[in-house]
Amino acid sequence: MAEVIVFESPEAAASHVAALLADQIENDPATVLGLATGSTPGRVYEGLARLVRDRSIAVDAVSGFALDEYVGLEPGHPESYRAVIDREVVRPLGLDPDRIHLPPVADGGSPESCRVFEDRIARAGGVDVQILGIGTDGHIGFNEPGSSLGSRTRLKTLTARTRRDNARFFASEDEVPVHCVTQGIGTILEARHLVLLAFGEAKAAAVAAAVEGPLSASVPGSAIQLHPRVTVVLDDAAAAELRHREYYDFAWANRPR
Ligand code: F6R
């Protein structure tokens, strides 16, 4: 079962995950991070950058693989995930940009370039900690409902709901790309530790379906139930529809130390 930890605020939740990542990098300077973008992990990266600075943690051997990237934005577009990762992760943390990889979109996400991306993850030794957000439609990465639970990195079409949700980053909904290249659910499940974050009431239904609902390709986030090491980190609002909330709080308060 996933460990579900509910904090009173997104800030407290993000500090917990930032500390977890800082400890991970301190223990293993060659940590391989799986990087989510979107608005949820922003505070985690800010907190981690602070801890890296305050604790003088060496990050030159850290590498990272982003979960997904839009297809069709011009290179350098500020909302391309390459630009977002550079702005929110690489520069604040002082990571080596050559060690940070995004799913291949230059050739439209050909099967061959997706295979090369997957091989690169394997050659890096696999992802140690995969940070995940979740879409209101239950997606992880950009694996939209119906994605195979065994899927690998590939070209995908975004749902209307995801494009609507992400329109806030663009001038209009029409500017949100229709296609993306995303790590597959099978790819994500190979990471050694999954840390799924969700904040706000808009995520409550997707979180409950992913954590407690039946395992189903219709809710790609439910694939986390297959993984032996998952930490779900929520604020109160995102936890509002969990049936076993009381138990999660009890288990966290009584965690073995
Ligand atoms: C982004 C990603 C997506 C987001 C999800 C939630 O790299 O993989 O699954 O995590 O769409 O987005 P936010 O955090 O913006 O609500």
pLDDT tens digit sequence for 138-196: 999 999 999 999 999 999 999 999 999 999 999 999 999 999 999 999 999 999 999 99
Mark 165-198 as b/e (b = at least 16 C-beta within 10 Å).
Answer: bbeeebeeeeebbebbbbbbbbbbbbbebbbbbb
pTM of this prediction? 0.98
Residue 144: active-site member: yes
The amino acid present at 117, given as its one-letter code, is F
Which atom of ligand 1 is nearest to 140's Cα? Answer: 9
According to DSSP, the residues that pair with 66 across neighbouring strands are: 35
Catalytic residue among 68, 69, 128, 235: 68
Cβ 4 vs Cβ 248: under 8 Å: yes
Catalytic residue among 69, 144, 165, 235: 144
Which atom of ligand 1 is nearest to 139's Cα? Answer: 9
Residue 68: active-site member: yes
Residue 137: active-site member: yes
Q: Whose CA is nearest to atom 2 of ligand 1?
A: 141
Q: What pLDDT is recorded for position 2?
A: 85
Taking the centre of ligand 1 as the mean of its atom positions, its distance from the CA of residue 213, in whole angstroms, is 20
Q: What pLDDT is recorded for position 1?
A: 60
Taking the centre of ligand 1 as the mean of its atom positions, its distance from the CA of residue 256, in whole angstroms, is 31
pLDDT tens-place values along the chain, 257 residues long? 689 999 999 999 999 999 999 999 999 999 999 999 999 999 999 999 999 999 999 999 999 999 999 999 998 999 999 999 999 999 999 999 999 999 999 999 999 999 999 999 999 999 999 999 999 999 999 999 999 999 999 999 999 999 999 999 999 999 999 999 999 999 999 999 999 999 999 999 999 999 999 999 999 999 999 999 999 999 999 999 999 999 999 999 999 98
3-state secondary structure the chain: CCEEEEECCHHHHHHHHHHHHHHHHHHCCCCEEEECCCCCCHHHHHHHHHHHHHCCCCCCCCEEEECEEECCCCCCCCCCHHHHHHHHHHHHHCCCHHHEECCCCCCCCCHHHHHHHHHHHHHCCCCCEEEECCCCCCCECCECCCCCCCCCCEEEECCHHHHHHHHHHCCCHHHCCCEEEECCHHHHHCCCEEEEEECCHHHHHHHHHHHHCCCECCEHHHHHHHCCCEEEEEECCCCCCCCCHHHHHHHHHCCCC
Taking the centre of ligand 1 as the mean of its atom positions, its distance from the CA of residue 158, in whole angstroms, is 12
Taking the centre of ligand 1 as the mean of its atom positions, its distance from the CA of residue 67, in whole angstroms, is 9
Which residues sit with their C-beta closer than 6 Å to ligand 1? 36-40, 67-68, 133-135, 139-142
